Amino acid sequence: MENLWKLSASELAGAIARGEVSALAAVEAHIARIAEVDAKLHAMVWTRYDEARAEARELDRRRAAGEALGPLGGVPLTIKESLDLAGSPSTYGLSSRAKVLAERDDRHVARLKRAGAIILGKTNVAQLLFFVETDNPLYGRTDNPYDAERSPGGSSGGQAAIIATGGSALGLGSDIAGSLRIPAAFCGIASLKPTAGRTPDEGRLSAPLGQRAIVSQVGVLARSVADVALGLEVINGGRNPGDDGRLEPGMPLGDPATVDVAGLRVAYYSDDGTFAVSPAVARAVKKAVEILRARGATVTAWTPPEVGHALDLAFGLLSADGGVGLVRNLGRDPRDPRIAKMLQAATASRSMLSLLRPLLRLSGRNKLAAITRNYGRRDADHYFGLVEAQRAYQARFAAALDGLDGGPADLVLCPAFALPAVRHGATEELLLGGAYTILWNLLGYPAGVVPVTRVQSGEESARPASREKMEQVAAETERGSAGLPIAVQVVARPWREHVALAAMAAIEKAVGWEGFRG
């Protein structure tokens, strides 16, 4: 009973349905586990334990009466703080919203509940969900389970941390630039960002909803690929009749079990030309490639086209309003230092940025100076032009995948992040570290991450001395990183999540990942 928190969501749901354990016992085991680990993590920001116990008792009563339970019947889980749960705050790290309670459940949260899941509480986020650490003036900082001096990633870092340590069987997060995949990679768990449009994020206190070129998606984090697949099926609506109809029903999901990995064509790369990866990251990609090759897949080394141009488009699209939306959402709230600096660049005029760039270069921030070329425009015509350029790039990218020797690629395998889990505060400088994830948001492709290895002693850094600040911070991130988890990213064609999940499961099985050992 005391080890129920070690079971996967699928295993736990099965045991409860068979009457081998009670839902109440599962809830109590996870509450006890949260009490054990969260004093160090600071991942949980709002809890509903009494309500969870009452729901578990009711579910146990229903099971004893012979009623069928849902696919997540009795499974205790958590959700990202920004997702609405009736009666709870969705603050996005804003102090002014601490007492504003949601009146209804987010669509995806409602689907979890109808599937029988029992929500224990909500987890910490980056302020406004806009940087890849988990810290904000309202709730404070969440630490990485493997090293308290490092971040669990962001903006879904609280979710990744509590799931990795067993406080939650699975959970929901969201992703507009890597906010599911980077925390999963940093914390050694699995996740998947669905195809753009499959599971839309209805939150209104991050990137403005009117920016429709790169759209946030709700997704699932879990300790196993099978649980990610199960959770995705639930929030996609496949096992939940009776949705409230606020959004169009999702596209049908394929079944990963029907995918023959041996028949897949996989393109892979470990360097996209924007930011060099750590030795352990390159080794993880090579290891995953060999696993899929051993399963019979055809694997081909590949270079994605024009990634630098793609990043310019992404930065331009996400800042097309000149930061006005973020400023409005922040109001008079205290600002996280990383958000404050981001807004300084996003709201600056083009003339001010032209004066700033030489100063950035003098301070060794040449790469950051180059990024600022995408800021300073806030007119509709410029935004429309970026959208047209995005469409043209998407077409060229698909053509490049179609033109591989041996036939069109089914999957792309690549790094999840350029580095191991970063130290707190480092992402202020490491804007290009997440280039490996944001590419797929620009394209709209489904992309998952699965842990493969840990940083080994002796491979912590191979970077030469550099005057470039971003490279210096990267080298410092790599030092002392032995033992940290390293994941790979598996990307499928749009609406083909099941193909990515099948390959992720094959990699997971071959690796035999043990996860957090604390």
Question: Could you list the active site residues?
Answer: 80, 155, 179
CA distances from 257 to 226, 241, 265 (A): 10, 23, 17
Burial of 70 (0-12, 13-18, 19+ CB in 10 A): buried
Any idea how long the chain is? Answer: 518
* Cβ atoms 164, 409 nearer than 8 A: no
Pairing of strands 118-123, 76-80: parallel
CA distance 361 to 345: 15
Structure tokens at 151: 């971040």
Closest CA to 6 of 198, 223, 203: 223
Beta strands in 74-183, from DSSP E residues, in sequence order: 76-80, 118-123, 135-136, 140-141, 170-175
Q: How far from chain centre, in Å, is Cα 340?
A: 23
CB atoms within 10 A of CB 246: 10
CA distance 82 to 40: 22
Q: Tokens 């403005």 sit at which residue?
A: 208
CA distance 61 to 2: 22
Q: Tokens 């990609």 sit at which residue?
A: 285
Closest CA to 275 of 92, 478, 120, 125: 478
CA distances from 227 to 163, 437, 454 (A): 12, 22, 22
Residue 451's beta-bridge partner residues? 487
CA distance 124 to 92: 9
* Cβ atoms 104, 95 nearer than 8 A: no
CB atoms within 10 A of CB 340: 12
CA distance 426 to 421: 10
Structure tokens at 238: 């496949």
